[in-house]
Structure 1
Amino acid sequence: MKRFFIILLILLLAGAWLGQLMVQDPGYVLMAYKETTVETSLWVLLLIAIVLFAVLHTVLNLITRAGVPAQRMRDWRGRRNHKIAQGKTLKGLMALSEGNWWKAQRYLTQAAERSEQPLINYLAAAKAAHEQGDASGADQLLQKAREATPKAEVAIGIVQAQIQLARGQNEPALATLLHLKRLAPKHSYVLKLLKETYVRLNDWSGLNKLMPDLKRHQVLPDEQVRRLETEAAHHLLDQSLAEQPAEADSKTRLQAVAHTWQSLPANCTHDNQLIEQYTQLMVDAGSADEAEKMLRDQLKKQWDESLVRLYGRIRSSNPHKQLETARGWAKKQDESAALELTLGRLAMQNEHWGNAISHFERSIELEPGAEACAELSRLLTHLGEGERASAVAARGFELMNGALPALPLPPAKQHAPDKD
């Protein structure tokens, strides 16, 4: 209250002072523009300026305030749409998790139309449409997602590839994933889906080329990567010979197999099973001498029983040299049943029947096996030792299939002597 009276007193004093000034000297102002002149006192001019300022200020305030209700309305509508979109998104996601595909698609699509960021809604709605078997609806929703968020091509493409794989559209899925790989070459999930697609398509060449990326970005556990590498290499080797025309000569067939072998990852060329397969393919291609040399070199580096067995099956142009090579190994591997089996086979190739029998018997002694029994039985049969061959064959049968149970048998029939 005191402040009000103080301000009023100050205003009265200021007014009295101004009034005295106006009486003492009203001042004179002359304004001229071309042929028009305006004459007035200084105080009147100041009063007109104050009034004009007040009028302009009032008009501007009215214009500004007129736009506030419209902005408030827009803000209110935005908040309302956001709230509705949130509610429908929540209902849609709940329906999606419950497997209610139709309801999920409806709520999520409605929410997308009101949302400022509709990407998630469109992608989830596309999955719901796919689950209903609505391929056209799913594709349309994915297209809407692209139009709404063009920069989310990788996320949209992943959903599209997943839907294509689920439909069994492996070739379109491969095209989609290769496009995504160009956009995001380090994206681990894209690489994982691409691996799955190559396996589905039996595209072992494509998978073999993808393996470095799977390793570099650690997409899969190391053990799974090794299994995939081995599987791809196995199929590629088989295809290398199977895809050759029937009229291809042995040199062409060998080059095809060798080219595939050289394209494999380094660790595959040290895998004994793959080496065994490669050797057998070289033999099948009509290149037994090259197979023998490759296998001999490999056994010098690393001894392996399965490769030793395979060495005895190779029929090179110089079986005597093969036999001498195997005899050299026997000086260090004198307790190897596999090597004795191989020595027996190589002895047969050189027609050393007695030595072959000795090696087969030694192999059975070291490690009874059906394969050695079969070889020995066959050789004894051809040498006219039928009774001994039958005994060996019976033992081999037991090793392969297990001993027969003791069961009653009819008495052996006695053949009547021939009449003169």
Structure 2
Amino acid sequence: MKRIFILLLALLFVGAWAGQKMLQDSGYALIAYGQTSIQMSIWVFLALSIVTFLLLHWGINLLNRSLQSGARFRLWNRGRSLKVAHNKTLKGLIALSEGNWWKAQRLLSQSAEKNEIPLVNYLAAARAAQEQGEEETCDELLQKARNSTPEAEIIVGISQAQIQLSRGQLEPCLATLLNLRKRAPKNSYVMKLLREVYIQLDDWKALSQLIPELRRAKALKQEKLLQTEQLCYKKILELSISQTLAASNEDKRKALGESWHSMPGQLIKDDILARHYTDLLVSIGAEEKAEGVIKDLLKRKWDEQLVNLYGRLKGANPKKQLDTARGWLKDYPLSPDLLLTLGRLSQRNQHWGKAVTYFEQSLEQDPRAETLSELARLLQHLGETDRTLKLMEKNLTLVGGGLPALPLPEKGAKLAAPAEQQQQQQ
């Protein structure tokens, strides 16, 4: 309040002073331009100058505010468009997660150009189009994604490879992934996709070259990586035989041995691969070679199935083979598979009595149709017919397992004559 009062006093003072000066001397101002001149008092000139200044100042402020209002409107309009695009993108992603592919594609495509990151919209819309089977639309959306963000070529390429893989387009997918490998050689996800493509293409040699890189990049968990290695080298071993179908068993054995010894050192000690190698040796008749592999495996880890297989092999020296199996009996005296194997090896060495004893002990430990068949066959050839019949009767459930429950006659009942059967039917 005091400030206003002081300001009014100052204005009154200035006004009184100016009025006094105007009465004392009005002065004059002359403005001339060409043949035209304008003359006025100095005080009128000052008043016009002040008014002109104020008008110009007001006009400039008005123009500036008009320009600012236009900018504000544009900013408001852009913000509104971004908000609408954001809402559509959010609804589109929700529809995508719910499997509403048509709605997701429509919303994501519509909001892509007005979104700050159109790449996300185009990639998600491409997936929705792929799920609907619209492959051309999907490819167009992927191209738009590539054009909208050229620096995101790796992301777009990975999405394209995933879609090609889902379509079963293995060769184009492989080309896409190999191109990505050149651009991003350390990208672990590209390696994982390459692994899947190589498996589906049965390109085991390429996969074997990729496995060390998968290990260095830690692209797979250790268990998954081991399974991949085992699958890969199993197939490589099988291919070494299948590629020499017309060759002799000796040539197949050599090819198989070369493939086996060319594997990484730690895999030769892998039990699963060694067992598969053994099965392949047996399949081409290289049982003598398989015998040595089985013995090495059993030294590392006891395996009932391998023991069973050992008894089926025809080794180079049946007596030494039997002695080897007898040595295992000290540590595994109740193993049914070892007892079965000892029976077979005793029979191979024509030790008939010992073979019968081992078969009976194995059958006692674990009644199995396989053991029963071996024992019955041997007894039959030894002329033990009654003993064979008693054995089969006692273990009939092993032979006829899985039969339905049906009524049976009492023991000792005689078969009815044909005439009596007809009367019963009538």
| 1:394 positional shift | 5.2
- Which residue pairs with 1:368 in the alignment? 367
State the match for 2:156 in structure 1: 156
**Equivalents in 2 of 1:306, 1:390: separation in Å?**
29
* CA displacement, residues 70-96 of structure 1 (integer Å, 9 cap, x when unaligned): 755654554344234324323433443
Q: 2:240, 2:255 within 8 Å by CA — same for their partners in 1?
A: no
Q: Could you tell me how far 1:98 is from its partner in structure 2?
A: 4.8
Name the residue aligned to 1:292: 291
The match for 2:112 is 112
CA distance in 2, matches of 1:242, 1:223: 29
1:294 to 1:92, Cα distance in 2 relative to 1, 3 A? closer
Asked if structure 1 preserves the Cα contact closer than 8 Å seen for 2:267 and 2:273, the reply is no
SS of match in other structure, 1:144: helix
SS at match of 1:335: coil
Are residues 239 and 9 of structure 1, via their aligned partners in 2, closer, same or farther at CA, if it must alter by over 3 Å?
farther
Structure 2: which 5+ runs fail to align? 18-52, 418-426
Does residue 414 of structure 2 align to residue 411 of structure 1?
yes
Q: Which moved more, 1:370-379 or 1:118-127?
A: 370-379
How many Å apart are 1:119 and its aligned residue?
A: 0.5
**Aligned partners of 2:101 and 2:132 also within 8 Å:** yes
Residues 9 and 245 of structure 1, relative CA distance in 2, 3 Å threshold: farther
Q: 1:361 to 1:221 in 2, by over 3 A?
A: same
CA distance in structure 2 between the partners assigned to 1:373 and 1:163 by the alignment:
56
Task: Please show how residues 32-43 of structure 1 align to structure 2 within 5 Å.
Answer: none
Measure, in 1, the Cα distance between the counterparts of 2:201 and 2:225. 18
Shift of 1:68: 5.9
Q: 1:360, CA displacement in angstroms?
A: 2.1
Change (3 A) 1:87 1:239: same
Give the drift of 1:407.
1.6
Contact 2:240 2:252 in 1 (8 A): no
Other structure's SS at 1:114 match: coil
The answer (yes or no) to whether the contact 2:241–2:252 under 8 Å persists in 1 is: no
Cα 1:357–1:95 change in 2 (3 A) is closer
The whole-number CA distance in structure 2 between the counterparts of 1:380 and 1:175 is: 65
- Between the two proteins, what is the percent identity of the paired residues? 45
Aligned to 1:176: 176
Aligned to 1:250: 250
Contact 1:229 1:268 in 2 (8 A): no
- Please list every run of 5 or more consecutive structure 1 residues that lacks an aligned counterpart in the other structure: 14-53, 415-420
What RMSD, in angstroms, separates the aligned Cα atoms of the two structures?
Answer: 4.5
Q: 1:313 to 1:98 in 2, by over 3 A?
A: closer
Conserved? CA contact 2:274–2:293, under 8 Å:
no
TM-score normalised by L of structure 1: 0.71
The TM-score, its normalising length taken from structure 2, stands at: 0.70
SS of corresponding position for 2:315 = coil
Contact 1:214 1:220 in 2 (8 A): yes
Distance 1:105-1:230 versus aligned 2 partners, 3 A rule: same
Aligned residues: 379
Change (3 A) 1:262 1:374: farther
CA drift at 1:146 = 0.6
What code does the residue aligned with 1:302 have?
Answer: K
CA contact (8 A) 1:257 1:281 kept: no
Provide the C-alpha distance between the structure 2 equivalents of 1:391 and 1:182, rounded to a whole number of angstroms.
74
For 1:12-51, what per-residue CA distance to the aligned partner results, in whole angstroms no more than 9, with x for missing partners?
99xxxxxxxxxxxxxxxxxxxxxxxxxxxxxxxxxxxxxx
What amino acid sits opposite 2:366 in the alignment? E
CA apart distance, 1:234: 4.3
Q: Which moved more, 1:382-391 or 1:316-325?
A: 382-391
Code of the aligned partner of 1:284: S
- 1:381·1:389 contact (CA, 8 Å) conserved in 2? yes
Q: Which amino acid aligns with 1:256?
A: L
